[in-house]
Amino acid sequence: VRKLNAFRAKKIITPSNIIRMGLKYYIRRLDIKKIICVYNPIDPKFKPYPKQGFSLKEKLNLKGRTILYIGRIAFYKGIDDIIKAYHLVKKEIPDLNLVIGGKPTLKMASIYQSWKEKYKDIKFVGIIPEKKIQHYYSMADVFVTYSNASEGFGLTPIESIACGTPVICSNLPAYREILGDNAIFVPPKEPELLAEKIKYYFKKEEIKKNLINKSKDVIKKYSIESFGKNLLDIYQEFLKI
C-alpha cells in the first residue's frame, strides 16, 4: 500500500536527503525528481536561556563543566560509550559532570536502572518536560549524541546549537548532512576517541567560540521562516503541474 501511494503521489517530501535517497533505494522505480527534501524547522523557543541554565545547574548541584545528552535511552544511541568517554575525561577534568535525560526503551530498562545504581557521579534526570528542555541545553557546556546506527534527521543537536551549546556527535551521514561543519564529529563505537575529542574541546576555548559563532547559520537554515518558504515554493510548483 505504501509503495502504491508513493507512485500515486505527485510530490513526496522528506526531512533529509538521507531519507530521500533511502526512499529511492527502497522503491527503485520511483522517480527521484518527485522526492523533495525540506528540512524540519526548530521551534523558536530554542534559544539561549543563561539565567535559567545557571539556576538549573545550581539546582542539580553541578559545580564544574557539564556534558549533556538528551534523547531516547536505546542500545543504538551509544550512551554506554558516552559514559565510558566521560569517565576517561574525568580522570583529567575531575569536576566534569554528565547529565543524561530521556526515557529508556523496554529492552533498556534494566540496564538503565543498573547505571543509576552504579554511576552515582552521573545525573540521570529522566524525561525532561517540554518547557524545560531549552534550559537544559542552555545549562550545558557541550551536547553529546553518539548514535551508532542510522539516523534520519538529528533534531536534538540542532536544538542544542540554537540554545548556544556546541555539539559533539557521531559522524553518521544524517548528522553530517544536517550539521555541516557546525559540530565535532567522531566515528561511532570508539569511546576512547570520543574522550579525546571532548578533552580537545575543553582545552581549546577557540573551538567553542568558533562553533558558537557559526551557530547563526544553523539557526537561519532551520528556522520556521525558511521552512515555510521552502514549503510554499513546493506548493506553488505543485499548482503548476
Kindly report, residue by residue over 186-216, the tens digit of the pLDDT: 999 999 999 999 999 999 989 999 999 988 8
Classify residue 52 by burial, with Cβ atoms within 10 Å: 0-12, 13-18, 19+. Answer: middle
Q: How many residues does the structure list for the chain?
A: 241
Retrieve residue 60's grid coordinates. Answer: 542539580
Hey, what amino acid is at 231? L
Residue 202 near residue 168 (C-beta atoms within 8 A)? no
Q: Round the average pLDDT of the chain to a whole number and report it.
A: 93
Confidence band, pLDDT 50/70/90 cuts, at residue 1:
very low
Query: Given this model, what pLDDT does residue 7 score?
Result: 81
Return residue ranges of the chain for CATH 3.40.50.2000: 50-221
Which pLDDT does position 152 carry in this prediction? 76
Q: Would you tell me how many other CB atoms lie within 10 Å of the CB of residue 58?
A: 11
Phi-psi region of 164 (alpha: psi -120 to 50; beta: other; left: phi over 0): left
Residue type at position 123: K
- For the stretch 59-97, pLDDT in tens is 999 999 999 999 999 999 999 999 999 999 999 999 999
Q: Is the pLDDT of residue 46 over 70?
A: yes
Residue 27 pLDDT > 90: no
What confidence score (pLDDT) does residue 216 get?
86
- Catalogue the E-assigned strands of 85-211: 97-101, 122-126, 142-145, 167-170, 184-186
- High-pLDDT (> 70) share of the chain, %: 98
Nearest to 87, CA basis, from 202, 217, 236, 199: 199
pTM, 2 dp: 0.92
Cell of 37: 527534501
Candidates 3.40.50.2000, 3.30.470.10, 3.40.630.10, 1.10.3470.10; correct CATH number of 50-221?
Answer: 3.40.50.2000
Kindly give the residue spans of alpha helices, DSSP state H, lying in the chain. Answer: 2-8, 17-26, 50-59, 79-90, 109-118, 133-139, 155-162, 173-179, 191-203, 205-221, 224-240
Q: How confident is the model at residue 2 (pLDDT cuts 50, 70, 90)?
A: low
Tens of pLDDT, residues 175-186: 999 999 999 999
